Structure 1
Amino acid sequence: MSVTTLCQVCESATANYTCDACGAAVCAEHYDRAAGLCVSCAAGSRR
């Protein structure tokens, strides 16, 4: 039996990634692959 986790941003898509900064489980749409961060952390790192 596998357990699927929902994206912590949109709460509708399956989370396939984990943010390197905050540990949030996020889907591909809310993950910045180049940075290894969720969109929230990626936005904060660009300030």
Structure 2
Amino acid sequence: MSVAGLCELCGRPDVDHGCDRCGQLVCDDHWNEDTGLCVECAAEAGRPDDRRVPEDAPDGVDTYRF
């Protein structure tokens, strides 16, 4: 998609994309083509879920009690 404006992350004038999540206008350097998101949203979306069971937890245990 071709849009007019400056990249909202670096200020370059050749903006080619709009983030599907936050709507920021970004240049090719700040665009993640695989996700269709700006690099900031792609990084947030790639964060592991904090509610996951720890890798070192024994089988069948999803919480620890102290």
Fold-level similarity (TM above 0.5): yes
5+ residue gaps, structure 2:
48-66
- Corresponding residue of 2:5: 5
Task: Give the length in aligned residue pairs.
Answer: 45
Which structure has the larger Rg? 2
Give, in whole Å, the separation in 2 of the partners of 1:12 and 1:31. Answer: 13
TM-score (norm 1): 0.86
- Runs (4+) of structure 1 exceeding 3 A deviation are none
Identity among equivalent positions (%) equals 42
Give, in whole Å, the separation in 2 of the partners of 1:30 and 1:15. Answer: 10
TM-score (norm 2): 0.63
5+ residue gaps, structure 1:
none
CA RMSD of aligned residues (A): 1.5
